[in-house]
């Protein structure tokens, strides 16, 4: 570790002006205060600062290719008092031709830290502002914030997020590091300062969303600026849909979208699965092969976003008495789950921009002579017909999960339904808990809740041949993310930490008692000192990690998790066989899973379902292991998004540009067709999420086939349609193989 006193640089070149309220802590170009600059696997190779192409003067710091090269600033003695500060400011520029990831850590004398990860783009210098109290776009009610850098008071600003907490009256260091560079990376830095107001943060979110629910910070081809554009886009689309639907009518399909060409299957009146010549198929009620191309969340309520408490974020909202004021509502998504933690603006009044835009496009007009209608009347039948026309014209043949019930009742597209099992049964934390804790299937109350949920879900659909089947909930926390043993066996660990009034804990302890008889046998097998069996019954019991010297630990965890999963899926399967014997159980829509959960699902479900946010299905799971289970697989979610169409988050899987979404979709479907066990793929989702964050959890992704204005993304749609129609050709080829 080297302490280096920085030289004074004599220069009259341009330096960026200070923002109002900004105090310079230390200048790398003109040091006027004494600060310890500590380098760890970093260096300042040049004696003087250098001039950039834009005329600014900054100092080069080189970060060497090690795990965590670090540049740290510390007071010469004592600590800095930043208790009146709102943000740490850094004037930075990537010294490379590419973006850099920079980690910043503020540490106080008590060892606490405030951390921030900065995605510093290539290009000219900018002022990075890091909130000195934990702050992020989520605290503003949305998953991702507006695009950065952003020009404010004549400066390029990059407003970063921060997490953690430091004692701002006793700051002992500020560290900058580049995580794990493969080669030496250069960062140009001018100065470090403290900002004593948060006006820039407030301004960044001021009037961020326009009257149509679009971002005000960008321009793109589908962006709407007036109502006439909405109506004109609708007219153009109607002509296009008419032609595409006429082409679809020429395809040789049965009533449900099954392929008429090729060998027929036995018609049994409902959707089912069958394996033929090494390949799995969905089979329509009329006995023809069917490859499910679906869209999730095809519904008219996807444009709702909370406005209460952040009205200034919206350029204009309807006033009382305005026709569009009918699209306000009240909600509360503060449910205590991990998906709502740290999020601001998650309850109160919301506004539905999508419904308002539908009203603007083709809503029923006000009675003659009235300036403003007291209530807007959305033409629901027009939306349903238009939406079904779109899906069929675009080559889709299935309504995916969470779609509007009326669409399925139209009997134009087969549909799927979710089983949401809620009740007062016990639950277990696996360390993930994004949508909630795991239900305890050993609890008799879970069986009762399942029976109730299945009975309600099947009530109006028991004899409907258009229903493909039911999903067993969605993205349950079977494990926590990561390869750590406590993540992999989060269900076993979480269960053993509970009290014995939880049925799953009693079931696990019975398993261990039956196997080991007493604490001495368990102690020897697990390599622990368990002086009394009752110690395992105590809440908070810390189970040992699996290790090679004691393989029984892992075997016991695996066995418990297997029995747990079997009990869960058998409970649902039994209820479905009673209430809906004609329909398929489509699996658990896994996001994070365990081999035990997947194996149990294969035993009791008709189809395995996975949400794959990967470039191709093979990247999401080991299909060689799936092949051993010999079960059909449905991709229940996949998606590709970008940041150039308004919503600020690209979704779980980002591509560089809108133009890249179509090729990514085509490649995914091609890879899916090459897997003989995959019987379909469902896109997530129909509509872009609101740029200001959806009600459920603040997600604000560009995920849609259509924008919040109900205008389709034309280039993407054409690519999707072409790929969907090619699936029929692939299916014919597969059927023709001897």
pLDDT in tens, 675-712: 999 999 999 999 999 999 999 999 999 999 999 999 99
pLDDT in tens, 103-124: 999 999 999 999 999 999 999 9
Q: How many CB atoms lie within 10 A of CB 652?
A: 19
Sheet hosting strand 304-306, strand order edge to edge: 304-306, 347-352, 328-332
Which residue ranges form the domains of the chain, and what is each CATH number? 2-204 (2.60.120.430)
**Mean pLDDT (the chain, rounded):** 92
Asked whether residue 203 carries a pLDDT value surpassing 70, the answer given is yes
Q: What is the mean pLDDT of residues 592-613?
A: 97
Asked whether residue 511 carries a pLDDT value surpassing 70, the answer given is yes
- Residue 715 near residue 658, CB atoms below 8 Å: yes
pLDDT in tens, 646-685: 999 999 999 999 999 999 999 999 999 999 999 999 999 9
Percent of the chain at pLDDT > 70 equals 95
What's 402's DSSP letter?
T
User: What is the structure's pLDDT at 291?
Assistant: 98
User: What is the structure's pLDDT at 1?
Assistant: 33
Q: What is the mean pLDDT of residues 449-476?
A: 96
Q: What is the mean pLDDT of residues 429-445?
A: 93
User: What is the structure's pLDDT at 729?
Assistant: 87
- Residue 130 C-alpha from the chain's centroid: 24
Q: What is the mean pLDDT of residues 520-533?
A: 93
More confident residue, 561 or 30: 561
Q: What is the mean pLDDT of residues 96-103?
A: 96
Q: What is the mean pLDDT of residues 159-164?
A: 96
- The C-alpha torsion from 237 through 238 and 239 to 244, rounded to 10°, is 90
Tally of residues, the chain: 738
Percent of the chain at pLDDT > 90 equals 83
Phi, psi for 126 (deg, rounded to 5): -145, 160
Q: Residue 47, SS3? A: coil
Q: How far apart are CA 200 and CA 207, in angstroms?
A: 13
pLDDT in tens, 125-157: 999 999 999 999 999 999 999 999 999 988 899
User: What is the structure's pLDDT at 12?
Assistant: 30
Listed range (14-18, 226-230, 541-545, 659-663) with the worst mean pLDDT: 14-18
The model's confidence at residue 375, banded by pLDDT at 50, 70 and 90, is low
Q: What is the mean pLDDT of residues 490-495?
A: 95
pTM across the whole model: 0.93
- Residue 585 near residue 577, CB atoms below 8 Å: no
| Nearest Cα to Cα of residue 705 among 720, 724, 725, 726 | 720
Residue with tokens 């540049």: 71
- Residue 724 near residue 682, CB atoms below 8 Å: no
pLDDT in tens, 2-58: 344 333 332 333 345 556 666 788 888 876 667 889 999 999 988 788 998 889 999
User: What is the structure's pLDDT at 22?
Assistant: 67
Asked whether residue 339 carries a pLDDT value surpassing 90, the answer given is no
Q: How far apart are CA 135 and CA 120, in angstroms?
A: 18
The encoded tokens of residue 700 equal 């604000």
């Amino acid at each position: 570790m080297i302490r280096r006193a920085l030289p004074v640089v004599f220069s009259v070149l341009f330096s960026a002006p200070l923002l109002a309220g900004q105090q310079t802590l230390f200048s790398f170009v003109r040091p006027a205060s004494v600060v310890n600059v500590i380098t760890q696997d970093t260096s300042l190779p040049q004696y003087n600062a250098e001039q950039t192409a834009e005329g600014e003067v900054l100092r080069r710091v080189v970060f060497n290719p090690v795990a965590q090269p670090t540049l740290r600033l510390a007071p010469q003695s004592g600590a800095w008092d930043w208790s009146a500060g709102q943000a740490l400011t850094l004037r930075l520029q990537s010294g490379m031709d590419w973006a850099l990831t920079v980690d910043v850590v503020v540490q106080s004398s008590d060892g606490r830290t405030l951390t921030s990860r900065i995605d510093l783009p290539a290009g000219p210098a900018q002022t990075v502002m890091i909130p000195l109290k934990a702050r992020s776009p989520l605290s503003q009610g949305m998953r991702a914030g507006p695009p950065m850098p952003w020009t404010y008071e004549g400066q390029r600003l990059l407003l970063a997020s921060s997490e953690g907490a430091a004692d701002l009256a006793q700051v002992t260091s500020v560290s900058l590091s580049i995580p794990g560079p493969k080669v030496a990376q250069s960062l140009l830095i001018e100065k470090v300062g403290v900002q004593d107001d948060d006006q820039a943060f407030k301004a960044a979110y001021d009037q961020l969303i326009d009257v149509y629910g679009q971002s005000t910070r960008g321009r793109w081809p589908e962006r709407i600026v007036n109502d006439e554009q909405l109506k004109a886009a609708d007219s153009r689309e109607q002509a296009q849909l008419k032609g595409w639907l006429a082409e679809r009518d020429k395809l040789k399909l049965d009533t449900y979208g099954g392929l008429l060409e090729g060998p027929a299957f036995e018609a049994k009146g409902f959707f089912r699965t069958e394996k033929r010549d090494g390949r799995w198929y969905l089979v329509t009620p009329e006995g023809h092969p069917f490859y499910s191309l679906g869209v999730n969340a095809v519904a008219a309520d996807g444009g709702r976003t909370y406005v209460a408490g952040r009205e200034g974020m919206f350029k204009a909202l309807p006033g009382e008495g305005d026709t569009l004021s009918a699209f306000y509502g009240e909600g509360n998504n503060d449910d205590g789950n991990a998906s709502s933690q740290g999020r601001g603006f998650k309850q109160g009044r919301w506004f539905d921009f999508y419904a308002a835009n539908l009203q603007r496009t083709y809503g029923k007009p006000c009675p003659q002579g009235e300036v403003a209608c007291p209530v807007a009347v959305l033409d629901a039948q027009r939306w349903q017909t238009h939406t079904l026309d779109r899906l069929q014209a675009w080559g889709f043949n299935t309504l995916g999960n969470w779609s509007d019930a009326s669409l399925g009742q139209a009997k134009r597209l087969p549909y799927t339904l979710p089983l949401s099992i809620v009740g007062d049964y016990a639950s277990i934390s696996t360390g993930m808990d994004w949508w909630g804790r795991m239900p305890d299937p050993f609890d008799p109350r879970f069986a009762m809740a399942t029976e109730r949920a299945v009975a309600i879900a099947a009530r109006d659909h028991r004899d409907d041949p258009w229903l493909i089947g039911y999903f067993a909930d969605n993205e349950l926390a079977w494990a926590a993310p990561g390869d750590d043993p406590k993540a992999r066996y989060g269900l076993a660990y979480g269960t053993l930490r509970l009290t014995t009034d939880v049925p799953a804990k009693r079931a696990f302890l019975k398993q261990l008692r039956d196997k080991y008889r007493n604490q001495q046998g368990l102690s020897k097998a697990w390599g622990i000192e368990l002086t009394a069996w009752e110690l395992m019954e105590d809440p908070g019991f810390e189970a040992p990690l699996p290790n090679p010297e004691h393989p029984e630990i892992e075997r016991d965890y695996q066995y418990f998790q297997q029995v747990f999963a079997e009990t869960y899926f058998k409970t649902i399967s039994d209820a479905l066989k009673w209430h809906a014997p004609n329909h398929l159980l489509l699996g658990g829509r896994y996001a994070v899973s365990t081999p035990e959960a997947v194996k149990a699902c294969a035993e009791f479900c008709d189809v395995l379902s996975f949400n794959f946010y990967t470039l191709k299905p093979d990247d999401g799971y080991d299909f060689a292991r799936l092949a051993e289970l010999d079960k059909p697989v449905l991709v229940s979610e996949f998606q590709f998004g970008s940041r150039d169409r308004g919503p600020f988050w690209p979704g779980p899987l980002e591509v560089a540009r809108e133009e890249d979404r179509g090729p990514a979709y085509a490649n995914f479907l091609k890879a899916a067709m090459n897997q003989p066990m995959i019987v379909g793929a469902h896109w997530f989702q129909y509509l872009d999420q609101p740029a200001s964050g959806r009600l459920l959890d603040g997600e604000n992704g560009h995920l849609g086939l259509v924008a919040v204005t109900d205008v389709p993304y034309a280039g993407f749609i054409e690519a999707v349609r072409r790929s969907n129609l090619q699936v029929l050709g692939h299916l014919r080829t597969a059927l023709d193989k001897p």
